[in-house]
Amino acid sequence: MSDSFASSRENGAHALLSWFVGQYEGTARTWFEPGDPVDTAAVKGGLRLILGGRFLLHEYNSTFEGKPIEGLAITGYYLGDGHWQTAWIDSFHNGTRIMLSEGAPGGDPLKPDVRGAYPADVGPDWGWRTTMERPDPTRLVISHFNITPDGQEVKAVEFDYRKVGG
């Protein structure tokens, strides 16, 4: 294990990933445009470290308009140039594609923030931004934002989680 990885596990990005580990329940909200969400549903998720603490695996289940949704994301912090990375798949948004997202080099190791893109039905690709925040010791909020081709950012999905169990 490199010294920088050991240091990151102590008080950097990889320590933050360790904090996220646990079982969660909460509320999933989905927006298609600004204003009130078009759907609010229960969400359950499990987050665990993989590959010796190098990455965080997030598996979740929810519904949209009563239909089941499941998803999985792998999140890590690349120590090389200091940026967050995520690979995300799910049964609602991504179909059969993997969304790869990255943060800016030199990004804050304690604030996961990544951007990806997806093809629009017509016209240029749209952006997708994902953030992870811990507002208090029992909560995890994962927010996703649509980014229009002209750069406008609008909240699209939010998981507001609370840790359950020990």
Read off the tokens for 35. Answer: 């204003």
Residue 22, domain extent: 3-164
Q: What is the average pLDDT score of the chain?
A: 95
Instruction: Give the residue-averaged pLDDT of 37-53.
Output: 97
Q: What is the pLDDT of residues 92-130, one digit of tens each?
A: 988 899 999 999 999 899 999 999 999 988 899 999 999
pTM of the model: 0.94
3 pLDDT tier (thresholds 50, 70, 90): confident
Instruction: Give the residue-averaged pLDDT of 54-75.
Output: 97
Look at residue 166 in the predicted model and tell me its pLDDT. Answer: 63
Would you give the DSSP letter of residue 94?
Answer: S
Residue 2 reports pLDDT greater than 90:
no
Read off the tokens for 32. Answer: 């298609």
Residue 165 reports pLDDT greater than 90:
no
Nearest C-alpha neighbor of 159 from the set 145, 146, 140:
140
Cα separation of 4 and 89, whole Å? 30
Look at residue 1 in the predicted model and tell me its pLDDT. Answer: 54
Residue bearing tokens 């949209």: 64
CATH number for the domain spanning 158: value is: 2.40.128.20
- The answer to whether the CB of 54 falls within 8 A of the CB of 48 is no
State the total domains in the chain. 1
